[in-house]
Structure 1
C-alpha cells in the first residue's frame, strides 16, 4: 500500500501567486509560448498608462468549448491561430471558470452578475421550455450599461427564455439577432421542438445559410457601424461547437437531421449517432476563423485599440472535447465541467503576452465590465462577482475569496488553491488544484478542519439562494 503524502498546510491558501503562473500554465495545458514561439510572462498591470475613453466591449462566447480545445491551451490536434493571436495580444487566464456547468445558468450569471440560483430562471439547468426565463425587471449588464450611455446588442444564442415573455430586447439590449433556444440545426434553424428559431428582434428572420457564417457577418457589420460618440456592448454568442455535429458544407448531414426532426424525432438534434473528433476539430477551427473575421472587421473600423475583447466558453466541453488534464465535462462541477478558456485583450490599457492564474469566474466579468463602463450595479440586486478592474489596470491585489457553484446533485467551492467538491456520490472531497488539477488525490482525510470550513462556507451561500423544486 502506498504511503500517504503529508497533508498540505492551510496556509497554502492564495489567489494568483505571480511566481507560479508559468508553472500552472505548463502543468495544466501548453501555454501560448508553445503554440506561437513566444514566451508568456506572469500578469502585471501596466500602471503607468493614462486613462482612456470608456471601452467598447466585445464579449464572445463559444458554446460547449472545452478548456483545452484551443491550441494555446494545449490541444494537440486543433489549430486556432486567431484566438492564439488574441491571447498573445492580451492576457490568457489559466484558472478561469464559467458561472455554471451548463448553458443557460452561465448566461444568467453573466447577464445578472449573480449566482444562477438567485433567480427562478437560473434554476433550470438548462432552460428547456417556456415556463421560465430572465425576468425583464431584473437589471442586466446590458441594461445598466445602456443607462450609462452604451449602445447594446446581442447576436447569437440567447437561451434565457422564450417569447412572448422573455427576450434580449426586454432585458436591456437595443438589438437582437439570433436564436432563443439552447440548440438549433445549423442550416434549417430548426430548434429542439422542431420550431424555426432565427429572429431579428422579436420577429422570425429567414436565412438558411450556415449559422456561424450568418452570425459572423452580422457581428462584423455591427463592429464597423458608426455608433457616433456612444461606446457599445456586443454580446456575440456563437452556437459552435455545440451539437449537432454539422460543419460548414455538411448539407447532406443537415438534410438528414431535418428529415428526422420533421418526422417527429425529438432526439435528432442531439445527434447521438453522429460526429467525430475530426468533425469537432473542423467546427472549432471554423469558430476560430469566424472570430478572426470579426476581429479583422474591428481593426478595419479603427476601434481596435479602444475595444475590450473577451473570449470564453459558456461551460466545459462535451462529447468530443479535449479537456486534458481536467476530469469531468459539461454538466459536472469537476474542473472539466466549469474551467474554461478565457482571453482578454484591451490594447489601450493592458499589455499583451501575459498569463494569469488568478481564479476568476463569470460573475466577476460582469462586475468588471460595469465598472469599466462607468455603470453602477443596481442597489437592490447586489452582485456576486468581484470587479477585477483595479487588479487589471492598477495592480491591486484580489483578496482571498470563495468561488461558489451549485447544480442539482453537486456542489463546489474554490478558495485559493483548494477546492471543496461533493458529487452525486454524496461524499465530500478536497483537492489541491495547483498540485492536482485532475482532482484525483482527495485530501479530505488530512485536512478535516479546512474541509469543514469550506463546506460551511458553501452552505452559508447556498442558504441565501432559491431552493430547487422537486
Structure 2
C-alpha cells in the first residue's frame, strides 16, 4: 500500500500545482592561490604555518597528491584552466604584457581571442550567475580577453598581473570601471640596501585583498537562490610581501634574525619569514570566510569547492642572498617538501600543487587520492559535475570519477607542458614516468631527462640512458599534441609540430 499512497500523494500535489521542486543545480567555487608551494599547507606537511581552514577542507573532502598546474607561471596557467587546452594548444603559453604587442593597452596581459571559449562562458550560457574576484591576467579591459567578454557577469579585482604586485594598488577594476582605492598607492618593488627596514614604510591605506574577499561574500549571499560559478583567484602568497601588521605579529619574533632588503625583487620587509607566513595564514582565513558565507547562505552542501594553486613557490634570484624572489625563505618553510625546482620550472616543484575538493555526500571525506591530473582537466570535470554540456575539443580528462569514488583513476589523455620561457622547457608525464627537456631556447639545448616519479619524486636520478622508449613516447606525443604559436614559439629538437 505504501507505494500506492506515495503515488496518490504525488498526483495530488501535481493537481494542486505544488509538485516536488526539481533539485537545484550544483554551485561551484573555484579558489586559486598564487605561487603557493606544494608543502605550504598543514595537510601537505607544513609545520610552521597554521592553515586550519584548509586543513578542515581536506578533512571534509579529498586531498590530491599528484595534481599539477597547467603551466609554471601565472598567465598560461590561467589560460589552461579557463579554456581546458594544455600548453601544446593553448593560445597563451607565457607571461606577455599586452602593450608589447598591442600598444593601445597600457596594462594587462596578452588577451584571449574572441574565439577562445572559457568555462565561465559555458556556465553563463547554462544559466549560472558567474563571478570572478582576484587576479585575471588574460586580457586588458576593452580587449577580447576581458573578464566580461569571457563569461563573467561580475569581475572585481586586478586585471593586470603587474599591478597585482602591490597589495595597496591605486585602483581595482569592477568590470570595466576603474575603482580608485588608494590615493597614495604603495609600489610593488623597491630596494633598501642600508638603514632600518620598517614595516610601516610599505603599508598603505586600503588593502586590496580585504575588498576582494568582501566582494566574494556579497556574491555568494546575492546569488544563493540560483546556481552560481565563483572563481576566486586570490593573490596570496605572491609577492610583494606587505601583509597587515596584525597578521605579521601572529608569528614569533625570533623567526627573523635578518631583514629582507629587496635584493631578490619586490619590497623590503623587516620580518620576511613572519611576513610570508602571514600571507598564507591570511589566505587560509579567506577560505574560512568563503565557507562561512556558503554556510550562512544555506548552500555549503550544494557547492563543489575546489582549492589549488597556479604554480609552485618562488625561485632564487640573487646569488648574494638565501632569500628567493620577494624575500621567501623556502628552506625555512620546506616549501616544496622535497620536490625539485620552483616557479618557472617544469620540474615537480614548479608545477605540482596542492589540490583539495569538497562536496559532502558526493566526494568522500578524509581521502588522499593519487590520481594524476592538471588544470586542463577542470573544464570537463566541472561540466560533468554540474551536468552542463562541455564543448568539443577539450584537452582535459574529467576527474569526476576519481573525485566521487575516492580511488586512483588511470590517465587516458596527455599530461604535458610546453613552456617557452625560463630558457624554453617541455615535460611529458607517461604513467609514473616523466620526461623533461630544458634550455630549448639557448644555443645548447639540454638532453632529455627521464624520472620514475613512483620511486624518485625529487627527480634526482635521471634514468634516460636506460629508458629510451620513454623519450620516444614523449616525442611521439608532442608531435601529435603541439601546434605552432607565433607569439610563444619554442622548438623541440626532433619534434616537428603542426601549424596552429
TM class by shorter chain equals 0.7 to 0.9
- Cα distance in 2 between the residues matched to 1:113 and 1:97: 13
Residue 72 of structure 2 contacts residue 311 of structure 2 at CA under 8 Å; is this kept in 1? yes
Max Rg structure: 2
Match of residue 124 from structure 2: 146
Deviation at 1:339, TM superposition (A): 0.4
- Cα distance in 1 between the residues matched to 2:115 and 2:429: 31
Cα deviations across residues 139-185 of structure 1 (Å, max 9, x unaligned)?
11011111111110111100111122131001111111111111425
1:33-432 residue pairs with structure 2 within 5 A? 53-120=24-91, 122-127=92-97, 129=99, 131=102, 132-165=110-143, 166-183=145-162, 184-189=164-169, 196-208=170-182, 209-228=206-225, 230-249=226-245, 270-271=265-266, 273-274=268-269, 276-318=272-314, 319=324, 320=328, 321=330, 322-379=335-392, 382-393=393-404, 397-408=409-420, 409-424=424-439, 426-432=446-452
Q: Return 393-402 or 139-148, whichever deviates more.
A: 393-402
TM-score by length of 2: 0.74
Deviation at 1:220, TM superposition (A): 1.3
**Gap runs ≥5 in structure 2:** 1-21, 103-109, 183-205, 248-261, 315-323, 440-444, 491-500
User: Taking structure 1 as reference, are residues 197 and 420 closer, same or farther at Cα in structure 2, changes over 3 Å only?
Assistant: farther
User: Taking structure 1 as reference, are residues 269 and 198 closer, same or farther at Cα in structure 2, changes over 3 Å only?
Assistant: farther
1:245 is paired with a residue whose SS is: coil
2:464 is paired with a residue whose SS is: coil
Residue 117 of structure 1 contacts residue 466 of structure 1 at CA under 8 Å; is this kept in 2? no
2:291 is paired with a residue whose SS is: helix
Deviation at 1:213, TM superposition (A): 1.3
User: Taking structure 1 as reference, are residues 73 and 128 closer, same or farther at Cα in structure 2, changes over 3 Å only?
Assistant: farther
Match of residue 13 from structure 2: none
Residue 158 of structure 1 contacts residue 237 of structure 1 at CA under 8 Å; is this kept in 2? yes
User: Taking structure 1 as reference, are residues 109 and 222 closer, same or farther at Cα in structure 2, changes over 3 Å only?
Assistant: same
Deviation at 1:243, TM superposition (A): 0.7
Residue 80 of structure 2 contacts residue 90 of structure 2 at CA under 8 Å; is this kept in 1? no
1:455-470 residue pairs with structure 2 within 5 A? 455-463=475-483, 468-469=488-489
User: Taking structure 1 as reference, are residues 448 and 240 closer, same or farther at Cα in structure 2, changes over 3 Å only?
Assistant: same
Cα deviations across residues 4-36 of structure 1 (Å, max 9, x unaligned)?
xxxxxxxxxxxxxxxxxxxxxxxxxxxxxxxxx
Cα deviations across residues 420-448 of structure 1 (Å, max 9, x unaligned)?
11122511010011211110101111112
For these two proteins, the number of residue pairs brought into alignment is: 396
1:309 is paired with a residue whose SS is: strand
Deviation at 1:369, TM superposition (A): 0.5
User: Taking structure 1 as reference, are residues 328 and 227 closer, same or farther at Cα in structure 2, changes over 3 Å only?
Assistant: same
- Cα distance in 2 between the residues matched to 1:416 and 1:301: 42
TM-score by length of 1: 0.79
Deviation at 1:375, TM superposition (A): 2.3
**Gap runs ≥5 in structure 1:** 1-50, 190-195, 252-266
Higher relative contact order (CA 8 A, sep 6+): 1
- Cα distance in 1 between the residues matched to 2:426 and 2:25: 37
Deviation at 1:72, TM superposition (A): 1.0
1:234 is paired with a residue whose SS is: strand
Residue 244 of structure 1 contacts residue 269 of structure 1 at CA under 8 Å; is this kept in 2? no
